[in-house]
Structure 1
């Protein structure tokens, strides 16, 4: 047996094992940093806080703050945007602190969001190199109950050094389709050009991508066949729940900038096994929106393999590696973009059928930690979570530790 092992190592290289991420936060139910006990009790009495209806979904890190989103899937979400302090010692079941403050997270009393500071419902966020937090507000509350639209979806941009809202942009009606659902935002900032930032917003329900230019304060929409879901791969089995989704373009990851400052944008529909790409020069040029020739600028990179449906993805520049959540596999996979995209080159590098049930979002911070949020969302949506179990987790691991000994290692 020993000699067989030696032969295996000589032929196939080092034996790698799955990485084990550190569990930083865990909750049975989310709690919030209320001003006082009276405020909490009042929220409970008025139905503004129903603990079991608060599910964390998106995250990103800035210095000593880990931002977390809590979409308003159901009524009783106390705050849709907040953060967790990362100062030591860390409380693993810390209460979420609303950002930028409680007032911004309260639903408007009328039918419309009358103040620019209102945040209705947030799925994902993105922090850029200029210390700004970009928030994609769906403006839709109580999605699974009595849905209420307060405005068109909006981009909100905060200065993280001052916690001030510096821009709110309502998407135009022509940016939207009847079935539009905007749940993600990726920010592309050319080096040293903070005022020339772009946001790429995938529309998973309307099968398009909306682009926003900060400099022009304008937005436009692109369509492509690659933005649609694959009808052969919309079947999911996660955490004992079987369901079918038709989610289109969902995750985007920005590659390295070229000599002109443009990047390869890797993307995929959620209900698909394929990964695609397009150069950001195409997305940024609004004059190309109706040009039929740009169809051929979009490329199929390859297929990730069976059961490799992915929600979020993120790119690590140092290793040229894209990390991809694996919803049907309870884990995370990786792909070194300097290799051909084949199932053999997309290994699962983190897997845990207890702690990583529905890896909803991932981000890489400036220290090259991969942060992972898992939240058992299928049980939350289609069944009921057990309040006596750990349901929500945030974990992290060093990128180099994750890819060591795998085909993603440079």
Structure 2
């Protein structure tokens, strides 16, 4: 009898779900204003409306954890910010690279400077200590949209906090419904100049490729970049809504023997996952488009209600982590196993993880994810007396222990 009990306890220990640690939490977002008067004036003139500032994207570099605040509504004081990893749980956001580069009126007609930031959803930190910022250039998206400047990539040197380069997308990169909200970067730290950025266009169902060395970009279209009409319905926090977002989540594997990576991708409103070699993306302008069409591959389907906003590949565990917005959690797939519904696990799920919007794995093997109740923010409004935004972390090996992803 004792042996049976010990066996049961052992199994329970192995299968016990790991619990992420709450690192940061806010009821409302606020910033490190230079003076109290600056904040008062910003509130008075509508440049800062606290309830309209919702954190959405994140990325870690050393003791900085970058947090983006897109200009969904009017009154977002600073779109690109960071907090200290070892700082207080409810600490104020610090504008990056400076206050003057972020505090831009929603009605502005141009950028104050080349390093100014309008509205950012997601950022990416590469192996060369550079921060890649996908700036949509669009303010007050849900109110009175104002395209202050065209969509662009802003690249900062994290060691100096200086802007290295800014690239504005070409007219041929965009369509009428184009919307750019994400970026992933493909680079070897031994050849930092030869970097490629891949930017999904969730509105016009394409991916824009940017070459830093060539300082040029090109647009790639494919059927797999479209949304699935059977997966466009959501129910989060008791709110039903319908989105038609196309390709959004991109994740890169480690380099293969040929030096290229596999790019995993999916439409937001879809439950399917696809992949393609970055060799095709890099050389697309020289390829036969008909032949290239067949090089995009379907991996499989994660199952019902598995729509995913963000994904990230962890080279240590060979696991692809992804958000589960309809299931208040984070999922995983071990890339060394077949892509089946059974091999896609829900690592953790809890009502407190309402709408996990972004996630990243840092170079220490820590998974970070941000939850922000976005549907309530858009369709209903948030209760400022409650904790509405949270950032959690967990070691990737601990996260998948006892699951099919281990």
TM-score, normalising length: structure 1: 0.95
Q: Are residues 1:386 and 2:361 paired?
A: no
- Structure 2 residue aligned with 1:77: 76
Name the CA distance, whole Å, in 1 between partners of 2:301 and 2:27. 36
8 Å contact 1:222–1:289 — kept in the other structure?
Answer: no
Is residue 27 of structure 2 the alignment partner of residue 28 of structure 1?
A: yes
Contact 1:142-1:148 at 8 Å conserved across structures: yes
1:350-376: CA deviation from partner (whole Å, max 9, x where unpaired): 11112x100000001111110010000
Give 1:395's aligned residue: 392
Residue in structure 1 matching 2:351, options 322, 343, 353: 353
Residue aligned with 2:253, SS: strand
The equivalences for 1:86-101 within 5 A come to 86-87=85-86, 90-101=87-98
Cα distance in structure 1, aligned partners of 2:8 and 2:191: 50
Q: Secondary structure at the match of 1:52?
A: helix
Please list the CA deviations of residues 310-334 of structure 1 after superposition, one character each: whole Å capped at 9, or x if unmatched.
0000001121100010011000010
Aligned to 1:103: 100
TM-superposed CA distance for 1:14, in Å, is 7.6
Q: Which runs of 5+ in 2 are unaligned?
A: none
Q: Which runs of 4+ in 1 moved over 4 A?
A: 1-10, 12-15
1:14–1:339 CA distance, 2 compared to 1 (3 A): farther
TM-score computed with the length of structure 2 as normaliser: 0.96
> Residues 113-128 of structure 1 correspond to what in structure 2 (within 5 A)?
113=111, 115-128=113-126
Post-superposition shift, 1:30? 0.3
Tell me what 1:18 maps to: 17
Provide the rounded CA distance (Å) in 2 between the counterparts of 1:9 and 1:390.
36
- For the aligned residue pairs, the C-alpha RMSD in angstroms reads 1.9
Work out whether residues 139 and 150 of structure 1, in 8 Å CA contact, stay in contact via their aligned partners in 2. yes
1:313-392 → structure 2 map (5 Å cutoff): 313-354=311-352, 356-392=353-389
Report the CA distance shift for 1:5/1:203 in structure 2 as closer, same or farther (over 3 A).
Answer: farther
Aligned to 2:59: 60
Q: Which moved more, 1:111-120 or 1:157-166?
A: 111-120
Deviation digits for residues 282-327 of structure 1 (CA, Å, limit 9, x no counterpart): 1111424762211100000011111110000000112110001001
* Structure 1 Cα separation of the partners of residues 108 and 268 of structure 2: 35
Q: Distance in 1 between matches of 2:230 and 2:138?
A: 30
CA shift in 2, pair 1:309/1:288, >3 Å: farther
Give 1:407 deviation, angstroms: 1.1
Matches of 2:66 and 2:121, distance apart in 1: 12
**Residue 278 (structure 2) aligned to one of 277, 280, 287:** 280
Where does residue 176 of structure 1 map in the other structure? 174
Alpha-carbon shift at residue 260 of structure 1 (Å): 2.2
Alignment equivalent of 1:295, drawn from 265, 275, 293: 293
Query: Structure 2 CA distance, aligned partners of 1:110 and 1:74?
Result: 15
Give me the whole-angstrom Cα distance separating, in 1, the residues matched to 2:23 and 2:8.
36
Q: Which runs of 5+ in 1 are unaligned?
A: none
Which SS does the other structure have where 1:41 is aligned? helix
Q: Report the CA distance between 1:156 and its aligned residue.
A: 0.1
Name the SS of the counterpart of 1:347 in structure 2.
strand
